[in-house]
Amino acid sequence: MCGIVGAVAQNNIVPTLLEGLHRLEYRGYDSAGIALLNGGLNRLRTTGRVAELSKLVNERQFQSKIGIAHTRWATHGAPSERNTHPHFSGGGVSKVAVVHNGIIENHEALHQRLQDAGFEFVSDTDTEVIAHLIMLNLEKAPDLLEAVCRSVAELQGAYAIAVMEETHPDRIIVSRNGAPLLLGLGEDGNYAASDVSALLQVTKRMIYLEEGDVAELRRDGYRIVSCLGAGPCKEVERAVHESKLTNEAVEMGPYAHFMQKEIFEQPGAVANTLEMVLNAHSISPRLFGSEAENIFKQTKSILILACGTSYHAGLVARYWIESVAGLTCNVEIASEYRYRDPVSQSNALVVGISQSGETADTLAALSYAKSLGHRHSLAICNVAESALVRQADLRFLTRAGPEIGVASTKAFTTQLAALMLLTMTLSKLRGKLSDERELEMIAALRHLPVALQHALQVETQVKAWAERFSQKRHALFLGRGMHYPIAMEGALKLKEISYIHAEAYPAGELKHGPLALVDKDMPVVAIAPNDALLEKLKSNLQEVHARGGELYVFADADSRIQESEGLHIIRMAEHAGLLSPILHTVPLQLLAYHVALQKGTDIDKPRNLAKSVTVE
Ligand code: G6P
């Protein structure tokens, strides 16, 4: 949600800021702005995309050696120019500029106080209070770092901010609390951004700021203070990390969209995620951390907390954990769980699943579970330095690489691979996995990247279906058992990027309501792997067929199901047993992608959405 980038360097930093914003656009893209210090503070802001902002900046030939920039996903205030960041305070002797990611929960109280103190508000955002607060604090503490420290001490909520001020033209102050922010240390200057991808163009040396950190960036140096807890802020050292990511990893290469690239990266992403076990003969709890064995042995049930696509991964895992490990597994939408009064079980392992590791609801749900007495937690996440990974006792990092397309694809299949490893580990520790079965399951995992490669080959057939779907306004997705969550994921993908209304149902539930919707205009997608539920599913499909519904069935090579009038079939190359949900995800991703392509929507940046949701 919202991307921040800041730079102070020897040369013109405007191209760096714009490229950085372009990289961060997945975080929000309803308006963008830039503030530069060149003589005084100047800014350009526009509704719409970073490309619009770049055009404006180039027309005006803006240049500077210091600046901050922002791409927005609106929370407070519509995506209009006056609500676009950077926000200013002052106009008299000095001016403060602020960009912000997150939500200031006490902004109403601060607004009132600052208004009473004579500040005039010109936007509907919560961010503007930060600019005025810093201006107010500058009267008491003329040093900008000190003024920001005093200001953040008064902020409640989650935020990452970057600040410039006219009388300190050589520095940028940044701070984070609950939203990501990192520093990039370059040869010719220093930088800050919401995410590594924005800074790989200038440096690989990164410092991940901790909660409550405030940092001052100058061209030739930086300092960091920690303002956590009571008492004055203290200067702190933070480790410098060499990022292993390459610039290519965040570039589109030969693909038309990041989503397409990420769909096709799945064999490699899953292979990377499974690397530690692919050449092994047995599975070790150490995959989840040094304390894992001890914690897993105390685990009596599993509680999975997640949002969106990650929640669907959790739903698949429930089938695996219950049937293979024999453990009760509850899966909860994080935003619901955090406001319920669930009965806690101290020996339930809480598993947070998140691609970004910064989804506010998932983080809050995990903290809530802890406050209710759950003793142990595990993070399954794609971002090593994320808040979720830091918050949990145990961790498993999926190795999908950066996922830029807003609709999650490779993050999902790598989460499923990780959850299968968790299932096997729990099962083994509970004495439910024989050596022979363990070897068989490792062999199946070893084959998974190749099987995914085969699954991608259905693309041409899916494209043909996509043409028909693009005319439709609604679609139903059906699945049974562990493929029901895959139907949910398929419906979500279609909604997200093609804006076709899609609903998923467990196929057995059809006759209890949704069958009423079925007619020739309602395509019904069914996932029909060759498993124990196939015959049951076929009866459900007959119910659709008999009512004139058009069926689009993803079956396995050997699923006993025949094409007929109104019943179209695409067959997957093989049946993958327990891993079948992973393979059956691929054609559904491709279907959504090609339908969206037909419809000409903005596939990587669907309207109203953002990739990482750092607000409630
Ligand atoms: C957003 C994204 C989804 C994602 C969800 C949860 O809504 O658009 O693709 O599944 O957040 O994100 P997480 O990073 O926690 O997996």
In angstroms, the CA 418 to CA 313 distance is 10
- Averaged pLDDT score across all residues of the chain: 93
pLDDT (tens digit per residue) in 272-292: 999 988 888 899 999 999 999
Q: What is the structure's pLDDT at 376?
A: 96
By percentage, how much of the chain surpasses pLDDT 90? 78
Q: What is the structure's pLDDT at 494?
A: 98
Q: What is the average per-residue pLDDT within 285-313?
A: 97
**pLDDT of residue 91 exceeding 70:** no
Which atom of ligand 1 has the smallest separation from the CA of 406? 8
By percentage, how much of the chain surpasses pLDDT 70? 99
Q: What is the structure's pLDDT at 37?
A: 95
Question: Where do the structural domains in the chain lie, given as residue ranges?
Answer: 3-251, 260-454, 456-599
Q: Which residue of the set 65, 428, 493, 611 is catalytic? A: 611
In angstroms, the CA 74 to CA 507 distance is 38
Q: What is the average per-residue pLDDT within 561-578?
A: 91
Which atom of ligand 1 has the smallest separation from the CA of 388? 15
Q: What is the structure's pLDDT at 255?
A: 95
Q: Using DSSP, state whether 172 is helix, strand or coil.
A: strand
SS (H, E, C) 8-72: EECCCCHHHHHHHHHHHHHHCCCEEEEEEEECEEEEEEEECCHHHHHHHHHHHCCCCCEEEEEEE
Q: What is the structure's pLDDT at 74?
A: 80
Q: What is the structure's pLDDT at 79?
A: 82
Architecture per CATH, 456-599: 3-Layer(aba) Sandwich (3.40)
Which of 354, 412, 614 to mutate to test ligand 1, by most ligand atoms within 8 A of the CB atom? 354
Q: What is the average per-residue pLDDT within 395-419?
A: 96
Q: Is 233 a catalytic residue?
A: no
**pLDDT of residue 560 exceeding 90:** no
Residues with CB under 6 A from ligand 1: 307-310, 354-356, 359, 362, 406-408, 609, 611-613
Rounded to the nearest 5 percent, the helix, strand and coil shares of the chain are 40, 25, 35
Which atom of ligand 1 has the smallest separation from the CA of 408? 9
Q: Using DSSP, state whether 118 is helix, strand or coil.
A: coil
Confidence of residue 138 (pLDDT cuts 50, 70, 90): very high
Domains 3-251 and 260-454 are alike in CATH topology: no
Q: What is the average per-residue pLDDT within 191-199?
A: 95
**pLDDT of residue 538 exceeding 80:** yes
Which of 1, 259, 304, 307 to mutate to test ligand 1, by most ligand atoms within 8 A of the CB atom? 307
Q: Which residues contact 530 (CB under 8 A, 6 or more apart)?
A: 555, 556, 557, 558, 559, 560, 575
Task: Identify any residues that bridge with 378 across adjacent strands, giving them in sequence order.
Answer: 351, 394
Q: Closest Cα to atom 1, ligand 1: which residue?
A: 611
Q: Closest Cα to atom 15, ligand 1: which residue?
A: 354
Q: What is the average per-residue pLDDT within 21-33?
A: 91
Q: Is 611 a catalytic residue?
A: yes
Confidence of residue 587 (pLDDT cuts 50, 70, 90): very high
Structure letter (DSSP) for residue 494: H
The pTM (predicted TM-score) of the whole model is 0.88
Q: What is the structure's pLDDT at 441?
A: 96
Q: What is the structure's pLDDT at 561?
A: 86
Q: What is the structure's pLDDT at 317?
A: 98
* H or E element that contains 181: none
Confidence of residue 93 (pLDDT cuts 50, 70, 90): low
Give the burial string for 110-125 (b: 16+ CB within 10 Å, else e). bbebbeeeebeeebeb
- Report the separation in Å between the CA atom of 569 and the middle of ligand 1, taken as the mean of its atom positions: 31
Q: Using DSSP, state whether 99 is helix, strand or coil.
A: strand
**pLDDT of residue 92 exceeding 70:** no
Which of 356, 391, 406 to mutate to test ligand 1, by most ligand atoms within 8 A of the CB atom? 356
- Report the separation in Å between the CA atom of 16 and the middle of ligand 1, taken as the mean of its atom positions: 27
Q: What is the structure's pLDDT at 312?
A: 98
Which atom of ligand 1 has the smallest separation from the CA of 609? 8
- Report the separation in Å between the CA atom of 274 and the middle of ligand 1, taken as the mean of its atom positions: 22
- Report the separation in Å between the CA atom of 608 and the middle of ligand 1, taken as the mean of its atom positions: 13
Count CA atoms closer than 13 A to 353's CA, side-chain side.
31
Confidence of residue 75 (pLDDT cuts 50, 70, 90): confident
**pLDDT of residue 548 exceeding 90:** no
Q: Fold for 260-454, please state it.
A: Rossmann fold (3.40.50)
Which atom of ligand 1 has the smallest separation from the CA of 411? 16
Q: Fold for 3-251, please state it.
A: Glutamine Phosphoribosylpyrophosphate, subunit 1, domain 1 (3.60.20)
